[in-house]
Amino acid sequence: MIFENGLYAFAVGLLIASVLQWRADRGAGTPTPVPLRAVLGLAVLVIAWASLSAFSHDKPLRVLDNLFRLLLMPWCAWLAWRTGESRRGLWAGALVGISIAFCIASWQMEAGSLRAGGNRNPLVFANLILVLLAIALTTGRVASLRSAKVVAVIFTLLAGAAIAFSGSRGSLLAWALLATTALVFRGDPLHRRRRIVLGGVAAALVVGLIAMSPALQAPLRLDKVSSDLARFAAGDADSPIGARLQFLQLAWQSFVAHPWQGVGIEEFGQVVQQWSGCQARPAMGMCALEHAHNDLAEWAATLGLPGALALLAIYGVPLALFVGIIRRADPRSPNLAAWGGVAVIAVYLWCGLTQSMFAHAATATAYALFTGVLLGIALHDAEPAA
């Protein structure tokens, strides 16, 4: 129910490591930290409410697949905490992932693809690159400051290029915000004003590069933004931007009509099909979409107010745990894993404005996996040295 396709190898490794660690822990009597119990309780409550919705609407168990992946959060957190998983290993893995994503995106564009996506949804591809970049910019610490800056710049540019090739405009804007934030707030506070100026210059250069490069303009479809908005204002929602705006309206109407239980898990596609625009024009492209392309709208419409609160808890509970660890840490030795967790959640909050992040197996798994691992590492690093 939790693993499929490319995650089989990860599943095998996770199971083996868990069994070995469980055998090593037998008889140790080490109490489980409160944060691990908190995320376990969170996952169980979310799955329970979604299960109630599935059963009440006669849905098969497979509709719960992505939400069951939330159990990876406490599982991976426990394993990373007990094994003392290396933060540097996670950081190095993020750099490797960005490099591979850039190579895949470059190869696809060279082969004539309009949008790069690694043979999957280009938006999911871009979102995962953003998550890797968030980890790379927050969890690593290179021996020399100059080397750290060089590594950060190189992999930020590689990630930005791969995201641009994917054609995800929202993810590209998130990339710019993430890169600017990392540039401004990392390093010596005395030089922060200088870094703000450099960030502005870098942003201007990126905008100029995109404006002068047809190879980047084509996948990003920047020339379509104004026409999409004009079409929506004229009553035609069959465009990427128009569909998202229409979905927000449909989600709100569904929530108002069913505020406590929603229309049912995985039922937003039926809401779209029943919309008058889809009944009048069945060939409209947006009518084939089954999700609201907004996290909060999706959960509120399909699972009601408890669903909306559950989504806020999915992000809010780990965020509060990471912030608590950061506040308790010595300012001279910041808990970088906790900062990485905050960055990953910030990426999901941003991307969730234009995507249904838990409607896709890859992004649902990545959230549970990375927040869990980062929480476990942060807890281990926060423990006093033996």
The Cα–Cα gap between 12 and 6 comes to: 11
Confidence of residue 2 (pLDDT cuts 50, 70, 90): very low
Q: What is the pLDDT of residue 201?
A: 60
d(CA 51, CA 46): 9
Q: Tell me the one-letter amino acid at 300.
A: A
Determine the Cα–Cα distance for residues 260 and 53; give it in Å rounded to an integer. Answer: 11
Question: What does the pLDDT read at residue 169?
Answer: 78
Percent of the chain, pLDDT > 70? 83
**Of 2, 142, 87, 114, which Cα lies nearest the Cα of 379?**
87
* Residues sharing a CB contact under 8 Å with residue 341, sequence separation 6 or more, in sequence order: 318, 319, 321, 322, 370, 371, 374, 375, 378
Helical axes 361-382 vs 295-328, angle rounded to 10°: 10
Q: State how far the Cα of 167 lies from the Cα of 126, in Å rounded to an integer.
A: 8
What is the reported pLDDT for 176?
83
Taking the model in full, what pTM does it have? Answer: 0.88
Angle between helices 240-257 and 295-328 (to 10 degrees): 90
pLDDT at 385: 54
Per residue in 219-257, pLDDT tens?
Answer: 556 556 677 777 777 777 777 788 888 889 999 999 999
pLDDT at 81 exceeding the cut of 70: yes
Q: What is the mean pLDDT of residues 35-59?
A: 93
Q: What is the DSSP string of 132-146?
A: HHHHHHHH---SSHH
For residues 275-287, average pLDDT: 71
At residue 386, the pLDDT reads 45
Residue 151's pLDDT band, with cuts at 50, 70 and 90, is confident
What's residue 186's pLDDT?
Answer: 61
Q: How confident is the model at residue 3 (pLDDT cuts 50, 70, 90)?
A: very low
pLDDT, position 25: 78
Q: Which long-range contacts (CB under 8 A, 24 or more apart) does 241-244 make?
A: 242/286, 243/286, 243/289, 243/293, 244/293, 244/294, 244/354
Q: Which residues contact 109 (CB under 8 A, 6 or more apart)?
A: 116, 165, 215, 219
